[in-house]
Amino acid sequence: MELSDFLKSIIDQDICAVVVCNLEHKIIYMNPAAVRRYAKSGGAELLGKSLMQCHHARSAGQIEKVVQWFGEDRKNNRVYTSYNEKENKDVYMIALRDADGALIGYYEKHEYRNRETREKYRFCADVY
Question: Domain coordinates of the chain in residue numbers?
Answer: 3-112
Predicted pLDDT of residue 126: 62
Element holding 63 (H helix, E strand): helix 57-72
At 59-113, the pLDDT tens digits run 999 999 999 999 999 999 999 999 999 999 999 999 999 999 999 999 998 999 9
25-29, 38-42, 122-126: the lowest-pLDDT one:
122-126
At 21-39, the pLDDT tens digits run 999 999 999 999 999 999 9
Predicted pLDDT of residue 116: 84
**Is residue 96 a contact partner of residue 104, using CB atoms and an 8 Å limit?**
yes
Provide the 3-class DSSP secondary structure of residue 21.
strand
CATH of domain 3-112: 3.30.450.20
Torsion over CA: 83, 87, 93, 99 (sign): positive
**Is residue 84 a contact partner of residue 107, using CB atoms and an 8 Å limit?**
no
Cα dist. 91→1, 3, 40, 94, 108 in Å? 32, 27, 20, 10, 7
